[in-house]
Amino acid sequence: MRAETNESGKERVDRELTELLQGLRVAVTGVQVLFAFLLTVPFSARFAEAGSTQRWFLYAALVAAAVATACYIAPAAQHRLLFRTGQKDLLVRRSNLYGICGSIALLAAMGTAVLFVVDALFSSLQAALTAAGVTALIAWAWLVQPALTGRR
């Protein structure tokens, strides 16, 4: 038994996996909505007006959203395949890495999607500044601040 939490190793791993999967459920919903939106854009009437640069922005956002979706869904899929194999601790560690990779990919997808939309609405400079600001805020909140906190 662990003194600080009063739970066994198995109980800790069970709790960690449950917490991890619950957190990923929140993220997967957001990335799926973004991914679905990005999938529909080329079929809209105005997409024919998009320039080469805007098409590359959409491509980058779409691929990043697909990668994020794959990373966020991987823990649940692997949990089903590894169920009752006694490898739950490995699954928790692996799923945590998938969650971090999914966050990085979602960060890229969101930043690039903002770049795509703002570039279509306004100037390229405004798009770049807006996307940089949004990307910096998300990177700080999701990655940098927790990393700094974890080092203390």
* The pLDDT of residue 97 is above 90: yes
Beta-carbon count within 10 A of 38 CB: 21
* The pLDDT of residue 2 is above 70: no
Q: Are 96 and 80 in contact (CB under 8 A)?
A: no
pLDDT of residue 87: 83
Q: Are 1 and 12 in contact (CB under 8 A)?
A: no
* The pLDDT of residue 4 is above 70: no
The mean per-residue pLDDT over the stretch 49-62 comes to 94
pLDDT of residue 138: 96
- Where do the structural domains in the chain lie, given as residue ranges? 9-151
The mean per-residue pLDDT over the stretch 57-84 comes to 92
* The pLDDT of residue 150 is above 90: no
The mean per-residue pLDDT over the stretch 17-35 comes to 87
